[in-house]
Amino acid sequence: MTFTLRDYQRDSVEATYRYWADGKGENPLIVAPTGAGKTAIIAQLIKDAVDGGARVLVLSHVAELLKQGREGLLKLCPELMNEIGFYSASLKQKRLDKRITFGGIQSIWKRAYDIVPAPDLILVDEAHLVPPKSETRYGSFFDDIRICNSEVKIVGLTATPYRLGSGRLDTGEGALFDGIAHDIEIQMLIDRGFLSPVIAKGGKRKIDLSEVKKRGGEFIEADLAKAATADGLVEETVAEICDVGADRKSWLIFSSGVDHAMQLKAEVAYHGHAVGIITGDTPQERRAQIIADFKAQRLRALVNVNVLTTGFDAPGVDLVAMVRATASPGLYVQIVGRGTRIAPGKENCLLLDYGSNVVRHGFIDQIKAPKDKREGDDGVAPAKECPQCDGLNYAGVRVCVYCGYEWPASKPEHETRAYSGAVLSSQVKAEWLEVDAVTVRRWAKPGKPDSLRVTYDCGLTSISEWLCPDHGGYAASRYHARMKSLGASAMTTNGALAESATWTQPGRIKVEPEGKFHKIVQLDYSFSPPAPDNAPAWEGDDEPVDFGSVAWDDEIPFMMEWR
């Protein structure tokens, strides 16, 4: 039996093979947002490896993820049934004789020398859960495996390639991964209907964090729980959830601790709604039944204590209530991701934020890795709350996108962002600019490979974007995505400069603010502006070139700068 990958899933697989072929490293990451179909990517990597005679090991330290991984693989490749085994004490099976092993790191980390022959490919599911230091069980196991097979390849898959306090997973001392092979964009998935949009609203009364201290960069749980259970706060919070969520079918609530969760559950039940609760102490069988009831909408609400942040798949969730605060951008994205899956009749997911998380972190599709756990906030809030309706808008917007409230005029600040949405950067107000001329030039930066600077002259404004085919990693994958959509073959900066003669000038471009710059989000070839006095020309290194007839894909947004 065969299965068909979506184009972006196929791109992830091909980018991984290209990463190895180009000698960029041995241990790449694939960044796949929640709902992108990571199971299909894993299945294809496994199938290709097994078809080539290789042995595969899928690692996790969460037994539930191992079970989900096996089930997902068998849905797509049932012919591999007899090739799969578990090595996990939690799953009560320890087999090393299969070509495909789903292993719990707690059980297998000392058994590297017993896996004969050694695996050729190791896939680490939810790689953001892997501790950062190489001296951990993962690091020790990988060191032992490389002694057994020096050519082993290791791939990490995650929606969030960073951790609080230690930054990106592929940089820094002790990093177990060495680069990003492919990064699937959240906004692209939403635009194409593979993910649900998310809108956000701040709670009328939020958790007061003024007395909540941090440890290791994150809010201390005991302090947070105390603040979240202040007088009357639980009652007010649940009353608002029930009111705002009256027309929503499936509420997923994240609490600030076990006692807080119990209070939330009791209050939701008091309002007449069927509600369940899951904590770290909930037995596996009981947990499975509660989740099944929630997915079947026999329970309208499900309260959890930092449990359902990874590997939880309930597409019907159309309201996520963060009755907690987190300083971790990764955890924030994972929580919001619980509501991004699509389901019949689901128009969007509402995020109710009682911990000022949206204001703290900003766009879920533009989260940057934290630099250091000792560093504080940069003082620039990427969002603000409407005083009239509590809708979360982005800093710099003058009119609330929800109720039309107008903020008083104030002096502009250089770092103010003209955002007009809620949780996604696509919700930023954009504008169309007519294009008079376009030039393509080589762009050289000391210490980095050359790239292409494409400049659009739009009246008195010039907007540029940088294409980076020779940079590798994320920048190159973005470039290759654009070139593939063109049907172009150039894989280098030099080749692209030569090929630019076939590129067509758009009539206008759609841009939106991003900090002090702008990014181009759409190219329109159907629009015909008035003919300029001088014919537009593209430029290569020195000489202008003519345009051909190939249109650029208008659905792939590009950043103003590669950062």
- Taking only the tens place, the pLDDT of each residue in 210-240 is 999 998 888 999 999 999 999 999 999 999 9
Q: Is residue 371 part of a domain?
A: yes
Q: Indicate the residue among 399, 423, 447 that finishes a domain.
A: 423
pLDDT classification of 423: cutoffs 50, 70, 90: low
| Alpha-carbon gap, residue 371 to 210, rounded angstroms | 23
Helix (H) or strand (E) holding 296: none
Q: Is residue 551 part of a domain?
A: no
* HEC profile of 27-79: CEEEECCCCCCHHHHHHHHHHHHHHCCCCEEEEECCHHHHHHHHHHHHHHCHH
Q: What is the pLDDT of residues 68-97, one digit of tens each?
A: 889 889 988 999 999 999 999 888 899 999
Residues 233 and 287 in one domain: yes
pLDDT at site 392: 63
Q: Is the pLDDT of residue 123 over 80?
A: yes
Q: Is residue 292 part of a domain?
A: yes
Q: Indicate the residue among 132, 152, 184 that finishes a domain.
A: 184
* HEC profile of 470-508: CCCHHHHHHHHHHHHHHCCCCCCHHHHHHHHHHECCCCE
**8 Å CB contact between 181 and 147:** no
Work out the widest C-alpha separation in the chain, in whole angstroms: 77
Q: Is residue 554 part of a domain?
A: no
**Domain residue limits at 198:** 191-423
Q: Is the pLDDT of residue 555 over 50?
A: no
Among 151-155, 267-271, 411-415, 457-461, whose mean pLDDT is lowest? 411-415
Q: Over range 148-170, report the average pLDDT.
A: 85
Q: Is the pLDDT of residue 510 over 60?
A: yes
pLDDT classification of 61: cutoffs 50, 70, 90: confident
Q: Is the pLDDT of residue 560 over 90?
A: no
Residues 412 and 483 in one domain: no
Residues 14 and 85 in one domain: yes
In 3D, which of 42, 68, 72 has the Cα closest to residue 57? 42
Q: What is the pLDDT of residues 337-393, one digit of tens each?
A: 999 999 999 999 999 999 999 888 876 766 655 554 433 344 344 566 666 666 666
Does the predicted model carry a pTM greater than 0.75? no
Give me the percent of the chain exceeding a pLDDT of 70.
Answer: 76
More confident residue, 47 or 129: 47
Q: Is residue 557 part of a domain?
A: no
- Of the CA atoms within 13 Å of residue 355, those in its CB half-sphere come to 26
Give me the percent of the chain exceeding a pLDDT of 90.
Answer: 43
Residues 413 and 486 in one domain: no
Residues 443 and 381 in one domain: no
**Overall domain count for the chain:** 3
| Alpha-carbon gap, residue 234 to 228, rounded angstroms | 7
pLDDT at site 263: 97
Among 1-15, 209-223, 434-448, whose mean pLDDT is lowest? 434-448
Residues 375 and 437 in one domain: no
Q: Is the pLDDT of residue 44 over 90?
A: yes
Q: Is residue 98 part of a domain?
A: yes
In three-state secondary structure terms, 101 is: strand
Residues 353 and 461 in one domain: no
Q: Rounded to whole angstroms, what are the CA distances from 154 to 28, 125, 473?
A: 7, 11, 16
pLDDT at site 69: 87
